[in-house]
A and B are shown apart, each in its own frame.
Chain A
Amino acid sequence: MIFPFTAIVGQEEMKTALILNVIDPSIGGLLIMGEKGTAKSTAVRALAELLPEVPAVAGCRFQCDPSGALCTECRERALHNGDFKTERKRMRVVELPLGVTEDRLVGTLDIERAIQKGEKRFEPGLLAEANRNFLYVDEVNLLEDHIVDLLLDSAAMGVNTVEREGISFSHPARFILVGTMNPEEGDLRPQLLDRFGLCVQVVSVREPELRVEILRRKAAFDDDPATSSRAWVEEQEALAKRIVQAQTALRSIPPADEALTRIVRITAALDLDGHRADIVMLKTARAIAALRGKPAIGPEEVRDSASMALRHRMKRLPFEEIGKDADRLQSLVAAI
């Protein structure tokens, strides 16, 4: 049993950012900065648990989306059979351990097959498992450099291309990347920070009453998970429904000129590098509008997308911490 998502107290921004990524995975993942023990991993697991099943190509080792990008094997399947059977799969949370090797991450030659049958076959790695799932990387800043490079490269392109050990293979790797980090233990290069769609900061809840509530719910869950979860069924189902509706609504929300102009004004005033900020902000604002059941992106949605889309992209003086000039950002957004 997993602690119900809707029973998590506080951490609203983190919860929203996760939901927005589910509504539109092309937002590009989430970086969570902050202390330990703030329900980061619980929230990700709980959200995956709450979501409905999605269709996938039956028997595919990469959970290919029948109506999306296909892996080398499914492309062959489609060629031979014309069509394929589908099955329904639940979204999972795949965890990337700190000591992960390159082979394990991108995949490698299937050793058993090679020895027993003399066949070259691709053994999928974690990027394959992560396709259409969450990929959770605790302390992403402590991963070895070349692993982070490989990870974020695939995340950005949505494809894992493997050229190693006699294997030449590619498969879709569209996952919701959730990374956590504590900046005091080492930083992430700005180029890599930029690859995370959104960024939130979490701190432990300060209000005494809420802290008591957290304890109470956690204790109740630990004592009897089944019974205590039952109290949340209604809210869980309602949220799942909202998310699914938002996913459908997304496509009918136009990137209106007004919202776009507003966004560009904000990012230009902040002198941010590249265009990712603009794109992510618009996608986020659109997902917020969808979640709120609105037909169009309004000024509030643009405003509410600003912090999470821009926090980690702000120009910083050397060693200035992420999120230091949150006030400047807020006042600028309010003014535009």
Chain B
Amino acid sequence: MKFPEFVGHDKAKLALILNAIDPRCGGVLFVGERGCGKSTLARLFPEILPEETPFVELPLNTTEEALLGGVDFEEAIRTGTRRIQSGILSRAADGFLYIDDVNLLPADILGLLIRTDRPIVASMNVGEAPISPHFLDRFGMAVAWSRITDPAQRTAVVRAAMGTAPPAVRDGREDALRTLVCNARNRLAGVSVPPPVEGYAAERCLESLAAGHRGDLFLRSAARAFAAFHGKGEVSQQDVDAVIPLVLDHRRRMPSPPPQEQEDRQPPPPSQDRSDRAAQPPDSAPAEATPSTADDPADFAGQPRESTPREQVFDVGEAFPLVRLHFRRDRLKRGSSGRKLKTLSSDKRGRYVRSRNQGSLRDIALDATIRAAAPWQILRGAGEILDVRADDIRYKQREKRISHLSVFVVDGSGSMGAQRRMIATKGAIESLLVHSYQKRDKVAMVLFRKDHAEVILPQTSSAHLASRLLRAIPVGGKTPLSSGLLVAYELLRRVLLREPETRVLLALITDGKANHSMTSAPPAEEVKKAALLLRELPFTEFMVIDTERKSGLVRTDNARVIADQLGAAYFSIEDLKSDSLVALIRNRETTLKEE
């Protein structure tokens, strides 16, 4: 398939053309639905680039040394001189980097990429790991992709993909396009931006609330390239308007591209003032956490919300899309890219990202070791075989995905019995399950009812299994809440012993009416003790979902007390019904990001 044969997606094509004309446009990110041809189009880009312009692919298996370059050991062994072999970045000088599934790159590589100024053409699917706003900002342009719906065009897409487009189309139009691009490039230096248009562009950037000045710069370059492409000598307001969607849409103050894949194509929630934020990071003192309760719904309801997630109806109540729940951060090990999904690995598993001077003899980085030894070979008088000394040895530093575990501690007592209450509760759990599933977190479930608690689902990555179990959860009997917490504690202790790097979210779903204790102590006393135990667990975050009916005559707010004891984020079932949970968690996400 040739560039002009690619059906539809004119916005994406325009973005590539403008970048071909002026690489200062800053590259482009294609974000969207899978299987729409994002990579296919990106791979056609070299056809319209001026000849000899580098277009270097950065594959997912890239290591840091391959990216930056390193000592060429062949040369070093032969001549004893250190010649630096060029890495991907220098090969892409004056050209473009190309990255497929950019969001799946290791955090360290992403961290390095943020610091380069090479324009990047990249693709990513939505519904998978998000990229940090910081990295997103680096892209001059972003284009959202979704499938073409017009039947005639769809047919044309298939034909093009099969390489059976009518032969008339293969008429060297891509050469014509390349000529247009080259002409525009030559004209570029002569294209001026009149002050009123500069002012207009600046205003539009301000309006978008984009952070920093990158947007202004990219907008200017894009508008100039657009004018040059249309053979004009001066940029007009129309030229600016034409490229605004490409340059500014992804800068309009949003935490990250839409994290949900099917329904969430709606705009992100508006940003809010720091003072407005209802939820605090979980590490803060419990007294400060979530100052608002259901008594005071205005705190949530008063905020403007553009996003109305589409809801789906289940036999277990309503599930709604959530954004990522954040796990407690540890600053020591995480990379700088803002992704919180990767950690350095201490065993041989995970991907090799770079070499270092210390490590385990069982995991030697041979390439780096040879590079270190190579320049000394002549001095050491090495013959046929490489002379490697202890000092030369380098070790692999690996990175692997942190595993996340969500534990649901569910109240199955009689007080939850009011049928509708349990339906809503199950809906809430289901929503959290959907979330865990999308993020590939593991889940476990503890149920407490009658006189004891049990692990009804040991940790598993099958959210399906959890969902099926959820449907079957029975209700009735007393509320052995402390027992539930203790069983969860035992479960977590075992998990953390085996996999100490696991991040845990414990969600307690209860009305808080503990009325059965394991010992002779009062139930509330036991709960308090269990909560203290749980809080000692590393990397564990808590969340309490209060199922008590707040509009009823008798309300105890016991679950609130337990939330405070746990240092947990607190949500009432009413919050859940009114999708405040979504907003709350989004808020929290922004808070964490800007910390």
B70-86: which residues lie under 8 A (CB-CB) from chain A?
70, 72-74, 77-78, 85
Partner of B59 from the list A162, A273, A276, A279 (CB cut-off 8 Å) is A162
Which residue of chain A is the closest to B366 with respect to CB atoms?
A111
Beyond A114-B366, A278-B158, A279-B158, is A166–B464 a contact (Cβ under 8 Å)?
no
Residue of A nearest to B125 (CB): A191
Interface residues of A in 48-105 (CB under 8 A from B): 101-103
- Chain A residues with CB under 8 Å of B261's CB are 190, 273
In the bound complex, how far is the Cα of B348 from the Cα of A63, in angstroms?
A: 31
- A257 contacts which chain B residues (CB < 8 A)? 155
Q: How far is the CB of A73 from chain B (nearest CB, A)?
A: 17
Docked complex Cα distance between A184 and B462 (Å): 6
A331 at the interface (CB under 8 A from B): no
Given A118-B77, A274-B147, A279-B161, A102–B352 Cβ distance below 8 Å? yes
Return the CB mask of B382-425 against A: 1 if under 8 Å, else 0.
Answer: 00111010000000000011000000000000000000000000
Is the CB of B127 closer than 8 A to any CB of chain A?
yes
Selected from B60, B154, B351, B374, the residue in CB contact (under 8 A) with A275 is B154
Asked if B128 CB lies within 8 Å of chain A CBs, one says yes
Q: Is the CB of B367 within 8 A of A275?
A: no
Q: Mark B175-198, 1 if CB is under 8 A from A, else 0.
A: 000000000000000000000000
Q: Is the interface of A mostly helix, strand, loop or mixed?
A: helix
A146 touching B401 by the CB < 8 A rule?
A: yes
Contact of B101 among A153, A261, A275, A279 (CB under 8 A): A153
Check if B539 is an interface residue, CB within 8 A of chain A.
no
Are A120 and B440 touching (Cβ within 8 A)? no
Rounded to whole angstroms, the CA-CA distance of A276 and B61 in the bound complex is 25
- Give the residues in chain B near A278, CB-CB below 8 Å: 154, 157-158
With a cutoff of 8 Å between Cβ atoms, the chain A residues found around residue B149 in the complex are: 268
Interface string of B250-270 (1 = CB under 8 A from A): 000000000001100000000
Tell me whether B386 and A116 are in contact (CB under 8 A): yes
Residues from chain B with a CB closer than 8 A to the CB of A161 are 57, 59
The one of A186, A254, A265 in contact with B151, judged by C-beta atoms closer than 8 angstroms, is A265
B58 CB–A CB distance under 8 Å: yes
CB A10 to nearest CB in B, in angstroms, measures 27
Q: Are B164 and A190 in contact (CB under 8 A)?
A: no
**B467/A319 in contact, CB under 8 A:** yes
- Chain A residues with Cβ below 8 Å from B312 are 317-318
Residues in B344-384 with C-beta less than 8 Å from chain A: 348-352, 365-368, 370-371, 374, 377, 384
B73, chain A: closest CB distance, angstroms: 7
Q: Report chain A residues within 8 Å CB of B461.
A: 185-187
Residue A150 at the B interface, CB < 8 A? yes
CB contacts (< 8 Å) of B365 on chain A: these are: 165
**Of B58, B70, B370, B467, which contacts A114 at CB under 8 A?**
B370
Q: Which of A109, A168, A318 contacts B437 (CB 8 A)?
A: A318
Task: Assess the A163–B464 pair: CB atoms within 8 A.
Answer: no
Q: Which of A102, A103, A166, A275 contacts B35 (CB 8 A)?
A: A275
Contact across chains for A263 and B104 when beta carbons are under 8 A apart: no
Q: Is A275 a contact of B352 with CB atoms below 8 Å?
A: no
Verify if A213 is at the interface (C-beta below 8 Å from B).
no
Does A40 make an interface contact (CB < 8 A)?
Answer: no
Tell me, yes or no, whether A300 is within 8 Å of chain B by CB.
no
Contact B73 A164 (CB under 8 A): no
Nearest neighbor of B164 in chain A, beta-carbon distance: A255
Interface flags, A114-128, vs B, CB<8A=1, else 0: 111011100000000
Cβ contact within 8 Å between A275 and B386: no
Q: Which of B61, B350, B388, B440 contacts A162 (CB 8 A)?
A: B61
Q: How far is the CA of A321 from the CA of B59 in the complex (A)?
A: 33
Q: Which residues of B contact A279 (CB under 8 A)?
A: 157-158, 161-162
User: Residue of A at shortest CB range from B153?
Assistant: A264
B33 and A163 within 8 A (CB): no
Contact A275 B72 (CB under 8 A): no
Shortest distance in angstroms between A54's beta carbon and chain B's nearest beta carbon?
Answer: 21
- The listed residue with most B CB atoms (<10 A of its CB), out of A149, A185, A254, is A149
Residues of B within 8 A of A168 (CB): 66
Residues of B within 8 A of A118 (CB): 73-74, 77-78, 370, 374, 377, 386
Task: Give Cα A144–Cα B351 distance, bound, in whole angstroms.
Answer: 10
A291–chain B nearest beta-carbon distance, Å: 18
Within 8 A of B (CB), among A135-174: 144-146, 149-150, 153, 156-157, 161-168
- For B36, the chain A residues whose CB sits under 8 A away are 273-275
- Does B430 sit at the interface, judged by CB under 8 A? yes
In the complex the two chains form, is B125's CB within 8 Å of A145's CB? no
Least CB distance, A115 to chain B, in whole angstroms: 5
User: CA of A161 to CA of B575 in the docked complex: distance in angstroms?
Assistant: 49
- Counting CB contacts under 8 A, is A301 at the interface? no
Residues of B within 8 A of A145 (CB): 401, 440
Q: Are A184 and B262 in contact (CB under 8 A)?
A: no
- Contacting residues, chain A, for B464 (C-beta < 8 A): 183-184, 187, 319, 321
Instruction: Tell me the complex Cα distance, A260–B351, Å.
Output: 43
Residues of B within 8 A of A194 (CB): 34-35
**Are B462 and A185 in contact (CB-based, < 8 A)?**
yes
**B23 interface residue per 8 A CB criterion:** no
- Determine if A189 and B128 form an interchain contact, defined as CB atoms under 8 angstroms apart: yes
For the complex, is A312 an interface residue (Cβ under 8 Å from B)? no
B157 touches A275 (CB 8 A): yes
8 A Cβ contacts from B426-477 to A: 430, 433-434, 437, 440, 460-465, 467-468
Contact with A along B3-29 (1 / 0, CB 8 A): 000000000000000000000000000
Alpha-carbon separation in the docked complex, A267 to B148 (Å)? 12
Which residue from A149, A150, A166, A267 sits with its C-beta under 8 Å from B85?
Answer: A166
**A164–B371 CB distance below 8 A:** no
| Pair A115/B104 contact, Cβ less than 8 Å | no
Does B319 lie at the interface of the complex (its beta carbon under 8 Å from any beta carbon of A)? yes
B162 to chain A, nearest CB (A): 5
The distance in angstroms between the C-alpha atoms of A115 and B314, with both chains bound, is 62
The answer to the question of B37 belonging to the interface, with a C-beta cut-off of 8 Å to chain A, is: yes
Residues of A with C-beta under 8 A to B125: 191
Could you tell me the distance between the alpha carbons of A67 and B75 in the complex, rounded to whole angstroms? 35
Answer whether A275 and B37 are a contact pair too, CB < 8 Å, given A146-B351, A268-B151: yes
* Known pairs A102-B61, A150-B60, A153-B100; A255 contacts B128 (CB<8 A): no
Please tell me if the beta carbons of B74 and A273 are within 8 angstroms of each other in the complex.
no
Are A276 and B34 neighbours in the complex by a CB distance under 8 Å?
yes
- Are B62 and A260 in contact, CB atoms less than 8 angstroms apart? no
- In the assembled complex, B501 has its CB within 8 A of some CB on chain A: no
Interface residue? A283 (CB, 8 A)? yes
Q: Is A191 a contact partner of B127 (Cβ separation < 8 A)?
A: yes
State A184–B467 Cα separation when bound (angstroms). Answer: 11
Interface membership of B88, Cβ < 8 A: yes
A265 to B149: give the CA distance in the assembly, Å: 10
Interface check A282, CB cutoff 8 A: yes
Report yes or no: A166 in contact with B463, Cβ–Cβ below 8 A: no
Closest to A183 in B: B464
For residue A217, CB closer than 8 A to chain B, the reply is no
Contact of B63 with A by CB under 8 A: yes
- Min CB distance A309 to B, Å, is 12
- CB<8 Å pairs between A and B, sample of 26: A101-B348, A109-B367, A114-B386, A120-B74, A153-B59, A153-B60, A163-B62, A164-B352, A165-B65, A165-B66, A166-B85, A167-B367, A183-B462, A187-B437, A187-B461, A254-B164, A273-B34, A273-B261, A274-B35, A276-B34, A278-B154, A279-B157, A315-B262, A318-B467, A319-B434, A319-B464
Nearest first, the 5 closest Cβ-Cβ pairs linking A and B are A274-B35, A165-B367, A276-B35, A118-B77, A319-B467
The residues of B with any CB-CB pair to A shorter than 8 Å are 33-37, 39, 57-63, 65-67, 70, 72-74, 77-78, 85, 88, 100-101, 104, 106, 125, 127-128, 147-149, 151, 154-155, 157-159, 161-162, 164, 261-262, 312, 314, 319, 348-352, 365-368, 370-371, 374, 377, 384-386, 388, 400-401, 430, 433-434, 437, 440, 460-465, 467-468
Q: Which residues of A approach B to under 8 Å, CB–CB?
A: 101-103, 106, 109, 111, 114-116, 118-120, 144-146, 149-150, 153, 156-157, 161-168, 183-187, 189-191, 194, 254-255, 257, 260-261, 263-265, 267-268, 273-279, 282-283, 315, 317-319, 321
